[in-house]
A and B are shown apart, each in its own frame.
Chain A
Amino acid sequence: MSDQKNRQSYWKANLKLVAFCLGIWFVVSYLFGIILVEQLNTISIGGYKLGFWFAQQGSMYVFVVLIFFYAWRMNKLDRKFNVHED
């Protein structure tokens, strides 16, 4: 029973992490890069208009960070619930 419960809470934590990451994934690409691009383009940072920057560079940086973040958190989660591989 406790094993079953353990698995359930592991799965829940996993889903929560995935939802969090995909939320950010959506915000930087669809929201900042496409939907709000005109509004963000009124702000300039350095030589970039912000919306354009998100579409061309910013979202890519966030994507890479997201993958590392997910791997790091997931490894921690695997260890916590003792399902890690190594």
Chain B
Amino acid sequence: MDLKTLTYLVVGATFLLYIGIAIWARASTTREFYVAGTGVHPIANGMATAADWMSAASFISMAGLIAFLGYDASVYLMGWTGGYVLLALLLAPYLRKFGKFTVPEFIGERYYSKLARLVAVICLIVASITYVIGQMKGVGVAFGRFLEVDFETGVGVGMAIVFVYAVLGGMKGITYTQIAQYCVLIFAYTVPAIFIALNLTGNPIPQLGLGSTMNDGSGLLLLDKLDLIVTDLGFRRIYGTKRDFTQYVLIDDVSDDRYSRSAPRDHAFLHGTEGLGCANLGRLGTGIHRHPVHHGSGSWCNGPVEPDGDHPVGSCRCRGWQPPV
């Protein structure tokens, strides 16, 4: 069986599971539709909420943000999770005790005002649409890749599935499909994390592995190594922003005396790239080279990068060099 059939089978099976759950958990009363008849066990509810946390935005975007921004992306982590504390302490208990189904209903009743209710509805729609746009982008990307269709079709497929289980099952359907999603997601998150941690540090617990030493014999801490790699690649430091972006990748057009300074040049040289490989630098595209370089020359590299045979191993040549600004 080739990979494509396998993908269709696995994705199809999960779709069937979600729709099956929606039909099984079909809502028959308003109470069931909005609050799942208040009959969901706290653990199950917790699993569904956790599935909310591990959405497309976390799965796809947050990992990337942390890789790109290092420490600075911690605000997303703390905001994402800290928000749940606010929700649990300031909103959820009162909403439950008030006995109303939705936030606008609660606001309308609490402040004796139809206008307040309307404002709450508008706020909710604005917030939801913003959120859904982000999620749908993720859904389109993920489905487009798995099913090998265009982005638009991917979004369409995702929307159709969500529509079926949300309309049929209401909150009960959503909660139970989310429990299924939780199991899938936690598995998909944990397995690679454990193996990466084992591979890099020999420690199977990822949370501890991040703070351990590398097992490649260098004796470096994983975080220090990570810091070195991302700064070598021109990204920000994992720990903070103290070191200069460009310190490691130097675009050195001065030391190369085969070219006189006045002659037109179509490339510059990248030094300090040992161990990275030019292909990796090239793959990063323009993102890394656009920063003004050392040597005070202020030249930029904005073209493809290739190995430079005339230079020591690790040096790369940059096509599409821009003169000093």
Which A residues fall within an 8 A CB radius of B? 18, 21-22, 25, 29, 33-34, 37-38, 41, 45-49, 52-53, 55-57, 59-60, 63-64, 66-67, 70-71, 74
Contact = CB atoms under 8 A, between A and B. Distances in A.
A43 B300 CA distance: 38
B93 interface: yes
Contact of A59 (B81, B208, B213): B81
A61 to B, nearest CB: 9
Interface residues of B, number: 26
Given A47-B223, A74-B93, A67 B74 contact: no
Contacts of A59: 77-78, 81-82
Contacts of B240: 37-38, 41, 52
7 contacts: A22-B85, A25-B82, A34-B74, A47-B210, A55-B77, A57-B210, A63-B85
A48 to B, nearest CB: 4
Contacts of A25: 82, 85-86
Those 4 A-B pairs whose CB atoms lie nearest each other, nearest first: A47-B211, A55-B74, A46-B211, A47-B221
A45 B212 CA distance: 11
Given A46-B211, A47-B211, A29 B78 contact: yes
Interface of B: 71, 74-75, 77-78, 81-82, 84-86, 88-90, 93, 207-208, 210-213, 221-223, 238-240
A38 to B, nearest CB: 8
Contacts of A55: 71, 74, 77-78
B75 A34 contact: yes
Contacts of A29: 78, 82
A48 B239 CA distance: 10
Given A47-B212, A52-B239, A59-B82, 11 more contacts: A21-B85, A22-B85, A25-B86, A33-B74, A41-B239, A47-B210, A55-B71, A55-B77, A56-B71, A70-B89, A71-B88
A66 B85 CA distance: 7
A22 B82 CA distance: 10
B77 A60 contact: yes
Contacts of B89: 18, 21-22, 67, 70
Given A22-B89, A67-B84, A47 B75 contact: no
A52 B208 CA distance: 14
B240 to A, nearest CB: 7
Nearest to A71: B88
Q: Which of B210, B211, B239 has the most CB of A within 10 A?
A: B211
A53 B211 contact: yes
Contact of A60 (B81, B86, B88): B81
B212 to A, nearest CB: 5
A53 B77 CA distance: 12
Nearest to B80: A60
A73 to B, nearest CB: 11
Contacts of B208: 46
B84 A63 contact: yes
Contacts of B81: 59-60, 63-64
A37 B241 CA distance: 12
A3 to B, nearest CB: 17
Contacts of A18: 89-90
A46 to B, nearest CB: 4
